[in-house]
Amino acid sequence: MSLRTAVLPLLIAATLPLAASAALHGLQPRALITLDRFSSPVLSPDGKVLVYARRVADLDANKSTTALWAQDIANPAAKPRRLTPEGWNVNSPEAAPDGKSVYFLSAKGGSMQLYSVPLAGGTPRQVSALPLDVGSFALSPDGRRVVLGLETFPDCAADIACNAKHGEKKVLKKASGVVFDRMFIRHWDAWNEGKLNRLFVAGLPAAGKTVTGAQLIGGNVIGDAPSRPFGDASEYGWSPDGRSVVFSARDANREEPWSTNFDVYLAPADGGDARNLTAGNKAWDTGGVFSADGRTLYYRAMKRPGFEADRFALMALDLATGAKREIAPGWDRSADGITLSEDGRTIYTTADDMGQHPLFAVDIATGGVTRLVADGSVSAFDIANGTLAFSRNSLKSGDQLFTGGLDGKAVRALGPDAGQMLKDVRFGDFEQFSFKGWSNETVYGYVVKPWNYQEGKTYPVAFLIHGGPQGSFGNGWSYRWNPQTYAGQGYAAVMIDFHGSTGYGQAFTDSISQHWGDRPLEDLQKGWAAALKKYPFLDAGRACALGASYGGFMVNWIAGNWNEPWKCLVSHDGVFDQRMMGYATEELWFTEWEQGGTPFDVPKNYERFNPVNHVDQWRVPMLVIHSQQDFRIPVEQGIGVFTALQRRNIESKFLYFPDENHWVLKPQNSLQWHETVNTWLRQHIGQ
């Protein structure tokens, strides 16, 4: 259960009759969207000051701003102080090695550039003034140089000025047509403009000067570094002596859309060619981190090419001999990243684990694993001088900041949780449960009570199905699919971590591939039955099933294969036609692994669990949601679902966003999303 300590007023109110606590209410979408968000905890080198980002949403302006704040953690009475000025929008804080300043990115001047601000407070100064946006950065160990991630055209090589002129020429073109001779033609939510993320090194200038040029490193590697669409500075880093940079990249060639062959490269920081350190592994290698003496490189590696949800193992590479070994082969979890202890004996990392997302310590010599921070989901952390800082969320709160010792003990909260920020909101209590699912194996789920739960009453149910499919609906907070927003409407929420979910061992995760419609469906059916048996407050006659991405596929699938329990359905960005998905999606490795091959080599696999083949069995009212910029599951999939519903004369609505991708991110769009979904549920299951 969550470690969140409820504030006293909520504890008192929970014991009072409803009339005495009339001011309380459940979590509403507007409150969720406008809730301040805390992230990016970074410690000063001495471990005495915590820097973090605080995001504030302006719903009326339909935007948000993020500022950096500092907290003197050595003094418990100290109040947080703002580091960046009002009106600035910043990201990616990194403390300087000397502890005197903090570097960050901001587009305050019109383009994204590198800035710094004194840790003690003061006016930020611009560090870079390049004609290109800076996408990411990493400071050298001595604080004299910086790696900059820039988006450039390959034919301009290392010439930054050439890249700027290349972009200007495109604007001046009168014809709008674009000719492609290979994929990707588009990726996630952007069309391919022919540019690549590349890494450059520059010296950090003295006060009053700015970086206006930089040296390309690893120029022989033609690929995105960091990767698209979600790669960041965790994919590259400096050697301890500052002579080399390690980074991860995949060849940008015609095979890229069906390849997960990322390799770890070592490049001289002065601009020479890079050396491939993991060429023997055709699966995913990433996240290189040097030991303090520079002799060993630690990194994460998958084993199976073409599978994006394979287990990330922790690896150690002897740079002198080339010998590799897996550090914790018996630990059946997938590591998120690598942070080395100061004595070099321990790797700190997070990973999904039984419906939670804890922080772990892995002994490099023995492979022994210790869970340091459990209960809830640790989203980010940092260590310095014996101090641990981390952000953690749960089913009752967004990210809250904590500090403590490296043993995970003596932890104290530095910032408010959701209950402290929303003092008039009562959150629904939650509980994890288990049952026997497919193959008689144990499967876990969560149930969340409505905010106004009373013993003896029954409540309508939102049955939430997670995406991925290799994902989890565990003890964590979401700003898009949050069970508390349903509990806040007076519904109970039920979520099942069906076969294919992460955090229960790699075999459990693997079991969904080529089985999208049978094994997970069996788990959902048995989980629903188990929840109804265990929790008598669930009203089986008033239930709606909702899901996005793979969850949207499953909603489309159960519409024709398990529609008996449901009064309504909500399908967001779901696959409707598996065969067309295999041709129209951008990252082809996903469909080709999940279906066991291409749609022309194994066409029967694409038809086996294809919702389009069962439309004749559809009968339940459905709300369909899809976005134009979703190139992962193109909008025609959602249009097809709505067309089928309309053609069969089934009550249905289609919510279309022309300016969103696979996620709905803009504040006003998010509010419309929640209001439309809640109206649909009220219409069909009450409250």
What positions carry a catalytic annotation? 549, 630, 662
Distance from C-alpha of 453 to C-alpha of 16, rounded to nearest angstrom? 13
- Angle at the Cα of 149 (from 144 to 154), degrees rounded to 5? 125
Kindly state the helix (H) or strand (E) to which residue 670 belongs, with its residue range: helix 667-685
Helices (H) and strands (E) in the chain, counts: 13, 38
Distance from C-alpha of 20 to C-alpha of 47, rounded to nearest angstrom? 46
Can you name the residues that pair with 68 across neighbouring β-strands?
Answer: 53
Q: Three-state SS across 546-611?
A: EEECHHHHHHHHHHHHCCCCCCEEEEECCCCCHHHHHHHCCCHHHHHHHHCCCCCCCHHHHHHCCH
Nearest to 117 by CA among 135, 98, 95, 134: 95
3-state class percentages of the chain: helix first, strand second, coil last, to nearest 5 = 20, 30, 45
- Angle at the Cα of 611 (from 256 to 444), degrees rounded to 5? 85
Burial class of residue 399, CB neighbours in 10 A (0-12, 13-18, 19+): buried
Residue linked to tokens 């996903």: 590
Burial class of residue 229, CB neighbours in 10 A (0-12, 13-18, 19+): middle
Can you name the residues that pair with 146 across neighbouring β-strands?
Answer: 139, 202
Nearest to 524 by CA among 567, 473, 489: 473
Q: What is the SS3 assignment for 513?
A: coil
Nearest to 428 by CA among 491, 385, 343: 491
Which segments of 204-312 are extended strands (E)?
Answer: 215-216, 236-238, 244-249, 263-268, 275-276, 285-290, 296-301
Nearest to 681 by CA among 530, 520, 493: 493
Nearest to 346 by CA among 408, 263, 414, 404: 408
Half-sphere CA count of 684, side-chain side, radius 13 A:
23
Distance from C-alpha of 502 to C-alpha of 421, rounded to nearest angstrom? 31
Inter-CA distances, 146 with 131, 242, 416, Å: 17, 10, 34
Nearest to 460 by CA among 564, 571, 566, 558: 566
For the stretch 267-288, what's the b/e string if a residue is b when 16 or more beta carbons lie within 10 angstroms of its beta carbon? bbbeeeebeebbeebbbbbbbb
Report the Cα–Cα distance between both ends of the chain, in Å, rounded. 28
Nearest to 563 by CA among 620, 520, 524: 620
On whether the CB atoms of residues 94 and 83 are closer than 8 A, the answer is no
**Which residues, 6+ apart, have CB-to-CB distance to 614 below 8 Å?**
557, 559, 560, 561
